[in-house]
Amino acid sequence: MFKVPVSLNEDIKKYELHVNDFINEKISKKDFKPFAAESGVYWERDGINYMIRPRIPSGIISLFSLKKIVELAKKYNGSRLHFTTRQDIQFHGIKLENTIKIVKELKEYEIYTRGTGGNTARNITIPPLTGLIENEKFDVAPYALVATEFLIQDSTNYSLPRKYKIGFSSTDEDIAHVKISDLGFLAKIKNNKKGFVVYGAGGLGAVARPAIILKDFISENEVIYYVQAMKRVFDKYGDRTNKSKARIRFILERLGEEEFKKIFFEELENVKKEINIENINISKFNKINYFINGEKNSRKQDVIKSKYKNRYILHIKPENGNVEPKKFYEFLLKLEKIDKNLEFRLSLNQDFYIVGIDGKDVNKILELKKNYFKEPKSNNIKACTGATTCQLGICSSQGLLGNILQTLNKEEVKYLPEINISGCPNSCAQHQIAELGFSGRKIRVNDNVVPAYSVYINGNVKNKIAEFGEEIGILPAKKIIDFLRYVAKLRQNDNSEISKFYKKNKSKLIDKIAEINLEIKNNFNKDLSIDY
């Protein structure tokens, strides 16, 4: 059983007190906002409704617990549930007074929201199918879960200079993006012993930098030492006066790599003297139900065959990462009647997997999926929530995603590379490490303000050090479709590995962007000033 924070009851009381004080105008919005964020509650763009983010530790959740979350979203008239790019699920469209009720009722099922937002240690990411595939070094989920359990017990982790993001990856493909994390662990086997390459001080956003390698190999039982040492470095040296310079990567930038490593390893030695690693029980999270060998079942592309006899996993991609609570609840109720012991794994791509399906139930669940989820045109495109609900959003990234999926046909979508769309430079959709990324902004065209996107190509985290995409131009939001059609046409004629494709076609893509921008400058349409 995952151990919830020891301070949870007191945290909920404090949150309720702050909500009531804000409603009764005893405290200002400025004073209420930080505490709400630390409690996993955010204002939405309309200034009326709120978003709540429960913690789904590393995206692993039982059918029973997920059903309870969806039941509450339905009960309190949530407009939608959104699967995030950090293996969480968010309530949207919730009234402020109902956030208290939801937080309290979640607690009854040992689900909590404290620390899922604000200046806190965020959800620790893992590959969604770690422990369920053969082509990985080893299962990294137990290490992520024990690190989560360790961090959430310490109240000082709820008042850091900014957010603290940690990831664990089980293959060099780096699905959990450890090479751009504040702290990252990449699984490695050395002399037949499990361990990790440790990365640190990376991050995306307006000022991005790849993580540096702190240690080429540590043993598996040293993970907590590194988690705590980096937290202490952050706490001591993070900039609390300038939010835009507060992340760990700016400490590295300010001190230089040599000095940063010096203070980190000094802190590490202090931590090793204070923490008794024998009290950290990794084995409690070692229970793995089903393994898969990556073989796709011939009956359906999204069914993955287990190496254990008669067990399967089903992938589901909700449209735009969103589900309607009432409809999704009906789906879960019917799924429960088939097998109440199923597990869900949330991914970093706004989708999820149903784990441990008995062979006799595969066709039933496939039919259920068909009735409740539209077949996606692509599993390879994602977008953050954007300006529709996010107060920091500049462009409607969800609107652009919807337009792409509605406008382009299946043949065009088939030839597109991986696409990540962020509504602003903060890179919540990780546009800087995508094969093709878009970052929302505003531009002026003939004295008209136009929603637009910077275009990035050839980002990846598969090499030893992450490589950020190159910005090749800026396009109005409503001209992205024209550009994607051009990319799809080029890819149809040259479907080579993506980095080779860009090397050969980069100049053509730059020329196409210039051609589109010249055309709109000469023949401006007022519709370009209206976002999706």
pLDDT (tens digit, 0 to 9) for every residue of the chain, 532 residues total? 567 777 888 999 999 999 999 999 999 998 999 889 999 999 998 888 999 999 999 999 999 999 999 999 999 999 999 999 999 999 999 999 999 999 999 999 989 999 999 999 999 999 999 988 778 999 999 999 999 999 999 989 989 999 999 999 999 999 999 999 999 999 999 999 999 999 999 999 989 999 999 999 999 999 999 999 999 999 999 999 998 999 999 999 999 999 999 999 999 999 999 988 766 667 666 654 333 333 343 334 688 776 567 778 999 999 889 999 999 999 999 999 999 999 999 999 999 999 989 999 999 999 999 999 988 888 889 999 998 888 889 999 999 999 999 999 989 999 999 999 999 999 999 999 999 999 999 999 999 999 999 999 999 998 999 999 999 999 999 999 999 999 999 999 988 899 999 999 999 999 999 999 999 999 999 999 999 9
Instruction: Please name every residue paired with 306 in a beta bridge, in sequence order, or none if there are none.
Output: 292
Q: Which residues of 377-399 are buried (b: 16+ CB within 10 A; e: fewer)?
A: bbebbbbbbbbbbbeebbbbbbb
Q: What is the pLDDT of residue 311?
A: 78
Rg (CA), the chain: 23
Retrieve residue 361's tokens: 């139930």
Close Cβ partners of 459 (under 8 Å, ≥ 6 residues apart): 431, 432, 433, 434, 435, 437, 466, 467, 468, 469
Q: What is the pLDDT of residue 308?
A: 64
DSSP H or E run through 331: helix 325-338
Q: What is the pLDDT of residue 133?
A: 76
Q: Provide the Cα torsion 25, 28, 33, 36; round to 10°.
A: -30
Q: What is the pLDDT of residue 295?
A: 39
- Give counts: helices (H), strands (E), the chain: 14, 20
Q: pTM of this prediction?
A: 0.92
Q: Strand 470-476's sheet: what is its strand order?
A: 381-383, 419-422, 436-445, 448-457, 470-476
Q: What is the pLDDT of residue 522?
A: 94
